[in-house]
Structure 1
Amino acid sequence: MMKSILTQKLERIKLVLTDCDGVLTDGGVYYGVNGEELKKFDIRDGMGVERMRNFAGVDTGIITGELSPSVIKRAEKLKITELHLGVKDKPVVFKEILSRLNLKAEEVAYIGDDTNDVEVMKLAGIGVCPANAISFIKDIADIVCEAEGGKGCFRELAEMIIASHQSAKSKFTATEVIALNSGNKIGPGEPCYIIAEIGINHNGDLEIAKKLIDEAVAAKATAVKFQKRTPEICVPKDQWEIMRDTPWGRISYIDYKRKTEFGIAEYATIDQYCKKLGIDWFVSTWDVEAVDFMEHFDTPLYKLASASLTDFPLIKRILLTGKPLMLSTGMSTNKEIEDAVNLVREFDENYPLMIAHSTSAYPCKPEELNLKMIQTLGNKYPGVPIGYSGHETGLATTVAAVTLGATFVERHFTLDRAMWGSDHAASVEPQGFQRMVRDIHDVEIATGDGIKRVYESELGPMKRLRVNISPEYKEEKEKTA
C-alpha cells in the first residue's frame, strides 16, 4: 500500500516552527509578584521538542509577536536557538530562516492558531493548528490537532513526525550502536564503555566526589555515575525514625539519607568538573522527582537500577526525556526483564535501550555471577547493546564479561574500601580500577577479528623452524638463505 500523502510530507520535515501564545502556551495571561507577565507551558510539549530532536533529528524554532521573558527562559531550557520575538511580519522571518538554513519550504512545518499565522502557514510544507484555533485557521490547516494550544498540541505533531521518520528507517540490527550526546558510543565494535560507579560513595562530601572523579579520569574510565533519590519518596515511612550511627553522629535514617544526597549546587559543580576533565557523567534515578531534577543537566543517558526494574512510572518518566536508557537486571526474573523491555518498545520500538546483566549481592560470590547471561541476553535481544554491572570483589570476572560480549561495564568505585558507608566494601579502589581498565583494553585488542593471517613477526620463526614452507613464503626464505 502506498504511503499517504500526509505521511510522505511528514517524512520530509527537518524543522518545526511554531507560534508561542495559543500554541506552546494556553494563551492565558499570568503575572508574577512584581507584575511581570508570565506564561504557562505544558511539560508534554517540552518533551515533544526533545523527543523530536532525539528521534527524528528535527529541530524547533519559535516565531512570535510575544516579548515575554518567560518565552526566552523556556527556549533556553529546551535548547531552542531559533527564537524570534516581537515579530511583525512572520512570512519575512520564515523566508529568512529558509535561506539561512538552506531549507526548502516543504521541509518546514508551522503551527499557528490565529489570523497572523495564515500567510506563513500557506508558505510551509505542512500547516498545523491546535484544536481550539479559530475556524478560519482550521480550514487552511493540513493537520488539526486533537489537543488544544498549551495542552499538548505541539507534542501531538512531534509524535506524528517521529513516527513518520522512524517508519522510513530500518529496524534494529545486530550491530546497533548507540551514540551519546557526549560523542561516545556504546555497542558492538566500539571500545568498551567503562563506568566508575561513585554512587553514594562520596558520603555527601563534594570534595570526595571530585577526588573520585579525578581518580576515574586517571584510570581512563569513560564515565562516572552517581545515584539520585528523593529521600522522602524512596525511604519507607516506617524506617524514617530508625536511629543510625553515622559520620554526622547518631541521627535518624531519613536524615542520614538526606545527608548523602547532592542538590542542584553540588551537581552543577560536578557537571562543570566532568566537562572540564572530559569524562561523561550520569546517574541512576530512583524516583520520578529525581528525573525531573536531573533534567536540569544534559547528561548522556539514564541508568535504571535493578531495584527499579519493575517501577513502570519511573521508566515511563525516563522515556519521556528521550535519552538512552540503561536497564540493570539484578534480582529480576526473565518475565520482569521482558515486561520492562516491552514497556520501552511499546513506547518506541527504536528507543535507544541498553541492558546490563547483574546479580544484586554485595559483594557477589563468583558462583552467582552467571556471566553467560550476557550471551543469553544478547541472543534474546538482538540489536540491543548488552553490558555488565558487577558487584564482586575481584577484577578478572569483569574483564571476562567483556570477552563474553559486554559492550559496557560498571563497577562501584571508592577511594578506600575501609571508608564508612554501605557500598565501599564491594567497590574497587583506584589502583585496581586502573588495572581493570588496562586489562579490558588489552583483551579488546587481543580478541582481534577472527581472520587467520600470518603476521610479520612470525616470518622469522617460520624460516628458521619450518621444513615445508608455502610457496608465497618460500621465495622469501631463499632470498635470506
Structure 2
Amino acid sequence: MKEILLQKASRIKLLITDCDGVLTDGGVYYGENGEAQKRFNIKDGMGVERLRKLAGIDTAIITGEKSPSVVTRAEKLQITELHLFVKDKPQVLKEIIARLALNASEVAYIGDDYNDAEIMKLVGLTASPADALPGIKAQADYVCQAKGGEGCFREFAELIIEAKTDVSIAPAAVRSEVITLSNGRKIGKGEPCYIIAEIGINHNGSLEIAKQLIDEAVAAKADAVKFQKRTPEICVPKDQWEIMRDTPWGRMSYIDYKRKTEFGIAEYAAIDQYCKKVGIDWFVSTWDVPSVDFMEQFNTVIYKLASASLTDFDLIARILQTGRPLMLSSGMSTMKEIDHAIAFVNNFDPAYPLFLAHSTSAYPCKPEELNLKMINTLSEKYSGIPIGYSGHETGLATTVAATAMGATFVERHFTLDRAMWGSDHAASVEPQGLQRLVRDIRDVETAAGDGIKKVYESELAPMKRLRVNISEEYKDKQLAK
C-alpha cells in the first residue's frame, strides 16, 4: 500500500491545503477589530520550506475563509498561490491546473471538512488530519498521525519529499550513459576519461598566470581547464568582510582580497578566446545565481557545482534553466543529500544531462579518506549518470586508480608552483605532474583492453621456447615464424 502511495507522491508538483485545521491548529482568536486570528504551527511552516527546497514543490492555499492572519502567514512562507473566501473550490482548482499547465495527477490536496470532498476527487493524491470528518478520512489516500491538525502539513510534506528522493532518482530508461557536449565531445562509459585541469583561483587574479596555466594544460593534453566564478558580496559572509589579511598586494580586508582575485568580463572574454585558439575546453564552477547569469555570456560546455553548493537548490535551479550539462561534486555530503540534489534535477527533467563526481573535501586529502570505492557505489546507485572523481590528494597514483575503477572523468587542482601564495596551491598538481597524470591515465585505458582473452603475436615466440605442448592451432604459426 505504501508503495502505491509513494508512486503517487513521486508525481506531485503542487500541494494545496485548505489551511484551517491543516496549516493551523484550528484555534480561533479575536483581535481588537474582530478579525479572526489563528495560531500557526511552526512545523508546518518548515514543511512548506522543505517542500520547496528539497523537492521543488510549491504550496497553494484554497480556503473558504477570509482571515488577515492567513494572508500574513502566506506572505511569510512565500506562498503566492493564495485563494481566500472561495465558494467553489473545484472551479478554483481547475483554473490553477490550467494556468500552471499541470495534470490533475500532479496535484495533492489536504482537506478536513465536508466542503473538501469534491475537490479531493479531482486530484492525484489526498490527505487529511487525524481529526478530519469520518467521510473525509475515508476518502483520503493518507491520514496524518499527528494529533488534530497540528503538524499535519509537515507530515504529509515529508512523505512527498521521501517519494521524490527515493522513487524518482536517476530513471535509467531515459538517461544515456554517455553525454555529448555542445562541441561534440563525449563523456561516459566506453569513452576516454575526460581530464579536467582545475585552475580554480590559482591564477591569483592574474590573466597572464591564467594563460600560462592554460598553455601547460594543453601541453599535458588535458581535455579541459576549469575556473571558479563568485560574486564576493554574496559568497563571503558579512561578518568576514572587514577581517584584515596579508596578501601579495599588501594588507587588505578579506572582501577586497576576494574582489582582487575575481575575474570579470574582460578576463573571461580573453580566456574564452584563448581557449578557442589553443583548442581546449573551458568552464567554471559557479557559486551563486548572479555568477550563472554572468557566465551565460559565454558558450561553455558544462556547469560545475562545487561540493559546498550541493544543497543550494536556488543555484541548481538557475543552472538547470540554462540547459547546459551539470556536473555535481559530492564532497562533504551524505547519501541523502546527494539523493536530494539528484531528485531535484530529475523533477526538473528526468533526462537532464547530469554528471556526478565522487569527492572528499579535504585540502590536501589523506589517502585513507579518499574512499575510491564510492565510485562503484555511485555507479550502481545512479544508473545512467556518468560518474567521475574530483581529487584533492597530493599524489597521482590514486587519481589514476580512480580511472581504473570506472571514473569517466577526473578533476585535479592545477598550479604552476605548489609553493605559490594562495589557499589551493598546496593541494594542486604542477605542470610535470599533470603531464604524468594524463600519460598514466591514457596508459591505463590502453592496458584495460576489451576483456576478451586472446594470444598475441608477441607471445608466439615465447610459446615456442617455453611451452611443453603447443596446441594444433598455433603449430603452423610457429613454423611460419
What TM-score does the superposition give when structure 2 sets the normalisation length?
Answer: 0.64
Deviations 1:199-253 (A, max 9, x none): 0000000000000000000010000000000000000000000000001110000
Deviations 1:307-358 (A, max 9, x none): 0000000000000000000000000000000000000011000000000000
Q: Is the 8 A contact 1:388 1:410 kept in 2?
A: yes
Match of 1:296 in 2: 297
Match of 1:345 in 2: 346
Are the structure 2 counterparts of residues 256 and 147 from structure 1 closer, same or farther at C-alpha, using a change threshold of 3 Å? same
Match of 1:171 in 2: 173
C-alpha displacement of 1:172: 3.9
Instruction: Count matched residues.
Output: 315
Match of 2:414 in 1: 413
Say if 2:252 is the partner of 1:251. Answer: yes
C-alpha displacement of 1:193: 0.3
Q: Find the aligned partners of 1:375 and 1:170 in 2 and give their Cα distance.
A: 16
> Which SS does the other structure have where 1:361 is aligned?
coil
> Which SS does the other structure have where 1:472 is aligned?
helix
Deviations 1:394-440 (A, max 9, x none): 00000000000000000000000000000001100000000000000
Deviations 1:119-142 (A, max 9, x none): xxxxxxxxxxxxxxxxxxxxxxxx
Q: Find the aligned partners of 1:260 and 1:463 in 2 and give their Cα distance.
A: 66
C-alpha displacement of 1:477: 3.1
Say if 2:300 is the partner of 1:328. Answer: no
Amino acid at match of 1:203: N
Amino acid at match of 2:173: K
Amino acid at match of 2:261: T
C-alpha displacement of 1:147: 8.4
Are the structure 2 counterparts of residues 255 and 171 from structure 1 closer, same or farther at C-alpha, using a change threshold of 3 Å? same
Q: Find the aligned partners of 1:277 and 1:335 in 2 and give their Cα distance.
A: 41
Q: Is the 8 A contact 1:231 1:257 kept in 2?
A: yes
Are the structure 2 counterparts of residues 437 and 170 from structure 1 closer, same or farther at C-alpha, using a change threshold of 3 Å? closer
Q: Is the 8 A contact 2:282 2:300 kept in 1?
A: yes
> Which SS does the other structure have where 2:298 is aligned?
coil
Match of 2:382 in 1: 381
> Which SS does the other structure have where 1:458 is aligned?
helix
Q: Is the 8 A contact 1:328 1:356 kept in 2?
A: yes
Are the structure 2 counterparts of residues 232 and 170 from structure 1 closer, same or farther at C-alpha, using a change threshold of 3 Å? closer
Match of 1:5 in 2: none
Q: Is the 8 A contact 2:418 2:427 kept in 1?
A: yes
C-alpha displacement of 1:475: 2.5
State the superposition RMSD in angstroms. 1.6
What TM-score does the superposition give when structure 1 sets the normalisation length?
Answer: 0.64
Match of 1:355 in 2: 356
C-alpha displacement of 1:366: 0.3
**Unpaired runs of at least 5, structure 1:** 1-144, 149-168
Deviations 1:249-277 (A, max 9, x none): 10000000000100001000000000000
Q: Find the aligned partners of 1:479 and 1:199 in 2 and give their Cα distance.
A: 58
Q: Find the aligned partners of 1:172 and 1:403 in 2 and give their Cα distance.
A: 27
Deviations 1:368-414 (A, max 9, x none): 00000000000000111000000000000000000000000000000
Q: Is the 8 A contact 2:461 2:478 kept in 1?
A: no
Q: Find the aligned partners of 1:205 and 1:172 in 2 and give their Cα distance.
A: 43
Say if 2:232 is the partner of 1:225. Answer: no
Q: Find the aligned partners of 1:240 and 1:478 in 2 and give their Cα distance.
A: 81
Deviations 1:9-59 (A, max 9, x none): xxxxxxxxxxxxxxxxxxxxxxxxxxxxxxxxxxxxxxxxxxxxxxxxxxx
Match of 2:124 in 1: none
C-alpha displacement of 1:466: 1.2
Match of 1:26 in 2: none
* Aligned counterparts, 1:458-477, within 5 A: 458-477=459-478
Q: Find the aligned partners of 2:393 and 2:333 in 1 and give their Cα distance.
A: 18
C-alpha displacement of 1:476: 2.7
**Unpaired runs of at least 5, structure 2:** 1-97, 102-170
C-alpha displacement of 1:170: 8.7
4+ runs deviating over 2 angstroms: 145-148, 169-173, 475-480
Q: Is the 8 A contact 1:171 1:350 kept in 2?
A: no
Q: Is the 8 A contact 2:172 2:383 kept in 1?
A: no
Q: Is the 8 A contact 2:286 2:304 kept in 1?
A: yes
Q: Find the aligned partners of 2:353 and 2:440 in 1 and give their Cα distance.
A: 28
> Which SS does the other structure have where 1:186 is aligned?
strand
Q: Is the 8 A contact 2:172 2:384 kept in 1?
A: no
> Which SS does the other structure have where 2:199 is aligned?
strand
Amino acid at match of 1:268: A
- Percent identity over the alignment? 79
> Which SS does the other structure have where 1:432 is aligned?
helix
Q: Is the 8 A contact 1:324 1:353 kept in 2?
A: yes
Deviations 1:129-185 (A, max 9, x none): xxxxxxxxxxxxxxxx9589xxxxxxxxxxxxxxxxxxxx99246x61111112211
Q: Find the aligned partners of 1:437 and 1:172 in 2 and give their Cα distance.
A: 32
Match of 1:135 in 2: none
Amino acid at match of 2:477: E
Q: Find the aligned partners of 1:182 and 1:363 in 2 and give their Cα distance.
A: 33
Amino acid at match of 2:416: L
Match of 1:312 in 2: 313
* Aligned counterparts, 1:61-140, within 5 A: none
Bigger Cα Rg: 2
Are the structure 2 counterparts of residues 462 and 280 from structure 1 closer, same or farther at C-alpha, using a change threshold of 3 Å? same
Say if 2:395 is the partner of 1:394. Answer: yes
Q: Is the 8 A contact 1:179 1:185 kept in 2?
A: yes
